[in-house]
Protein backbone atom coordinates (compact mmCIF):
# COMPACT_ATOMS: atom_id res chain seq x y z
CA UNK A 1 0.00 0.00 0.00
CA UNK A 2 2.77 2.45 0.91
CA UNK A 3 4.63 1.46 -2.27
CA UNK A 4 1.55 2.26 -4.39
CA UNK A 5 1.16 5.60 -2.61
CA UNK A 6 4.81 6.53 -3.19
CA UNK A 7 4.61 5.45 -6.85
CA UNK A 8 1.47 7.58 -7.36
CA UNK A 9 3.11 10.54 -5.58
CA UNK A 10 6.28 10.39 -7.69
CA UNK A 11 4.29 9.92 -10.91
CA UNK A 12 2.15 12.95 -10.09
CA UNK A 13 5.23 14.94 -9.13
CA UNK A 14 6.95 14.01 -12.42
CA UNK A 15 3.82 15.01 -14.40
CA UNK A 16 3.53 18.34 -12.52
CA UNK A 17 7.21 19.12 -13.13
CA UNK A 18 6.80 18.48 -16.87
CA UNK A 19 3.72 20.71 -17.06
CA UNK A 20 5.57 23.48 -15.22
CA UNK A 21 8.60 23.06 -17.52
CA UNK A 22 6.28 23.34 -20.55
CA UNK A 23 4.81 26.57 -19.20
CA UNK A 24 8.29 27.99 -18.62
CA UNK A 25 9.31 27.21 -22.21
CA UNK A 26 6.65 29.63 -23.44
CA UNK A 27 7.31 32.23 -20.76
CA UNK A 28 11.11 31.96 -20.95
CA UNK A 29 10.96 33.29 -24.51
CA UNK A 30 9.27 36.66 -23.98
CA UNK A 31 10.97 38.22 -27.00
CA UNK A 32 9.52 35.76 -29.51
CA UNK A 33 7.10 37.67 -31.75
CA UNK A 34 3.36 37.15 -31.77
CA UNK A 35 1.79 38.59 -34.89
CA UNK A 36 -0.47 37.52 -37.74
CA UNK A 37 -1.99 38.79 -40.95
CA UNK A 38 -4.78 37.04 -42.81
CA UNK A 39 -6.83 38.10 -45.81
CA UNK A 40 -10.11 36.94 -47.23
CA UNK A 41 -9.04 34.67 -50.07
CA UNK A 42 -10.79 34.43 -53.43
CA UNK A 43 -12.98 37.06 -55.00
CA UNK A 44 -15.88 37.33 -52.57
CA UNK A 45 -17.98 35.64 -49.90
CA UNK A 46 -21.73 35.77 -50.26
CA UNK A 47 -24.67 35.15 -47.95
CA UNK A 48 -22.85 35.73 -44.68
CA UNK A 49 -25.34 35.67 -41.84
CA UNK A 50 -25.84 37.30 -38.50
CA UNK A 51 -23.41 36.18 -35.77
CA UNK A 52 -21.17 34.46 -38.32
CA UNK A 53 -17.41 34.87 -37.89
CA UNK A 54 -15.61 36.24 -40.91
CA UNK A 55 -13.01 33.58 -41.66
CA UNK A 56 -9.99 35.33 -43.09
CA UNK A 57 -8.65 32.14 -44.58
CA UNK A 58 -5.52 33.13 -46.50
CA UNK A 59 -2.79 33.49 -43.85
CA UNK A 60 0.15 35.68 -44.85
CA UNK A 61 2.05 34.94 -41.62
CA UNK A 62 1.23 33.63 -38.15
CA UNK A 63 4.16 34.09 -35.75
CA UNK A 64 3.34 32.46 -32.42
CA UNK A 65 0.52 30.40 -34.01
CA UNK A 66 -2.25 32.42 -32.37
CA UNK A 67 -4.50 32.77 -35.44
CA UNK A 68 -6.81 29.93 -36.60
CA UNK A 69 -7.92 30.43 -40.20
CA UNK A 70 -10.61 27.72 -39.91
CA UNK A 71 -12.52 29.74 -37.31
CA UNK A 72 -11.21 33.27 -37.98
CA UNK A 73 -10.18 33.49 -34.32
CA UNK A 74 -6.99 34.77 -32.71
CA UNK A 75 -6.24 33.19 -29.32
CA UNK A 76 -3.70 35.03 -27.19
CA UNK A 77 -0.66 32.81 -26.54
CA UNK A 78 0.39 35.00 -23.60
CA UNK A 79 -0.73 37.94 -21.47
CA UNK A 80 -0.10 41.30 -23.05
CA UNK A 81 -1.22 44.45 -24.80
CA UNK A 82 -2.15 43.73 -28.41
CA UNK A 83 -3.09 45.79 -31.44
CA UNK A 84 -5.61 44.55 -34.03
CA UNK A 85 -6.78 45.90 -37.36
CA UNK A 86 -9.61 44.66 -39.53
CA UNK A 87 -11.05 45.81 -42.84
CA UNK A 88 -14.04 44.69 -44.87
CA UNK A 89 -15.14 45.73 -48.37
CA UNK A 90 -18.83 45.18 -49.07
CA UNK A 91 -19.72 43.69 -52.44
CA UNK A 92 -21.91 45.70 -54.78
CA UNK A 93 -24.13 42.85 -55.98
CA UNK A 94 -26.96 43.35 -53.49
CA UNK A 95 -28.04 45.84 -50.88
CA UNK A 96 -25.15 45.01 -48.55
CA UNK A 97 -25.34 46.90 -45.31
CA UNK A 98 -22.59 45.62 -43.08
CA UNK A 99 -22.62 45.67 -39.31
CA UNK A 100 -19.74 43.75 -37.77
CA UNK A 101 -18.05 43.62 -34.39
CA UNK A 102 -14.48 43.13 -33.34
CA UNK A 103 -15.32 40.64 -30.64
CA UNK A 104 -13.37 39.71 -27.50
CA UNK A 105 -14.48 36.55 -25.68
CA UNK A 106 -17.98 36.87 -27.14
CA UNK A 107 -18.48 40.59 -26.44
CA UNK A 108 -18.19 43.46 -28.94
CA UNK A 109 -15.26 45.78 -28.18
CA UNK A 110 -15.41 47.78 -31.43
CA UNK A 111 -17.79 48.08 -34.38
CA UNK A 112 -17.54 48.26 -38.17
CA UNK A 113 -20.25 49.64 -40.46
CA UNK A 114 -20.40 50.05 -44.24
CA UNK A 115 -23.14 50.67 -46.80
CA UNK A 116 -22.64 50.53 -50.53
CA UNK A 117 -24.56 53.09 -52.55
CA UNK A 118 -25.48 53.33 -56.21
CA UNK A 119 -23.64 50.18 -57.21
CA UNK A 120 -20.34 51.08 -55.53
CA UNK A 121 -18.73 48.97 -52.85
CA UNK A 122 -17.90 50.47 -49.47
CA UNK A 123 -14.94 49.70 -47.24
CA UNK A 124 -14.69 50.04 -43.48
CA UNK A 125 -11.78 49.44 -41.16
CA UNK A 126 -10.91 49.62 -37.48
CA UNK A 127 -7.85 49.50 -35.25
CA UNK A 128 -7.99 48.56 -31.59
CA UNK A 129 -5.44 48.32 -28.78
CA UNK A 130 -6.54 46.03 -25.96
CA UNK A 131 -5.18 43.97 -23.08
CA UNK A 132 -5.55 40.21 -23.43
CA UNK A 133 -4.95 37.41 -20.99
CA UNK A 134 -3.55 34.12 -22.26
CA UNK A 135 -6.42 32.22 -23.91
CA UNK A 136 -8.58 35.28 -24.66
CA UNK A 137 -10.11 35.22 -28.15
CA UNK A 138 -10.56 38.02 -30.71
CA UNK A 139 -12.48 37.69 -34.00
CA UNK A 140 -14.58 39.71 -36.46
CA UNK A 141 -18.26 38.73 -36.43
CA UNK A 142 -21.23 39.86 -38.51
CA UNK A 143 -23.53 41.42 -35.92
CA UNK A 144 -26.59 43.12 -37.37
CA UNK A 145 -26.73 42.08 -40.98
CA UNK A 146 -28.16 39.23 -43.02
CA UNK A 147 -27.17 37.99 -46.45
CA UNK A 148 -24.02 40.12 -46.60
CA UNK A 149 -21.48 39.81 -49.40
CA UNK A 150 -17.89 40.95 -48.96
CA UNK A 151 -14.90 41.12 -51.29
CA UNK A 152 -11.71 39.16 -50.86
CA UNK A 153 -8.70 39.87 -53.09
CA UNK A 154 -6.81 41.54 -50.20
CA UNK A 155 -9.52 44.18 -49.70
CA UNK A 156 -10.70 42.46 -46.51
CA UNK A 157 -8.12 41.56 -43.88
CA UNK A 158 -7.54 40.90 -40.18
CA UNK A 159 -4.20 41.39 -38.44
CA UNK A 160 -2.80 41.66 -34.95
CA UNK A 161 0.38 41.79 -32.92
CA UNK A 162 1.62 41.72 -29.36
CA UNK A 163 2.99 45.20 -28.57
CA UNK A 164 3.83 44.72 -24.87
CA UNK A 165 4.42 41.41 -23.13
CA UNK A 166 2.94 41.34 -19.61
CA UNK A 167 4.54 37.95 -18.78
CA UNK A 168 8.12 39.24 -18.77
Q: How confident is the model at residue 29 (pLDDT cuts 50, 70, 90)?
A: low
For 50-75, how does the pLDDT look when each residue is reduced to its tens digit (9 = 90+)? 899 999 999 999 999 999 999 999 99
Q: 125: which strand partners?
A: 87
pLDDT score for 167: 87
* Other Cβ atoms closer than 10 A to 42: 11
pLDDT exceeds cutoff 80 at 48: yes
Q: How far apart are CA 41 and CA 159, in angstroms?
A: 14
Q: Enter the pTM of the model.
A: 0.79
- Residue 43, pLDDT score: 83
Is residue 5's pLDDT more than 60? Answer: no
By the 8 A CB rule, do 131 and 81 touch? yes
User: pLDDT digit string (tens) for 121-159?
Assistant: 889 999 999 999 999 999 999 998 778 888 888 999 999
pLDDT tens-place string over residues 79-117: 999 999 999 998 876 556 889 999 999 999 999 998 877
Q: How far from each other are the two terminal CA atoms of the chain, in whole angstroms?
A: 44
Mean pLDDT, all residues of the chain = 83
Amino acid sequence: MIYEYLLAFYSLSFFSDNVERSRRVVNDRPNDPIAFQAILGGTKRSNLGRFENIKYDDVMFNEGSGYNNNTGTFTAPRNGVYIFSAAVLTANDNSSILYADLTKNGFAVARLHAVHNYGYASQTSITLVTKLDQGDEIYVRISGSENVSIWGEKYSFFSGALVHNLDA
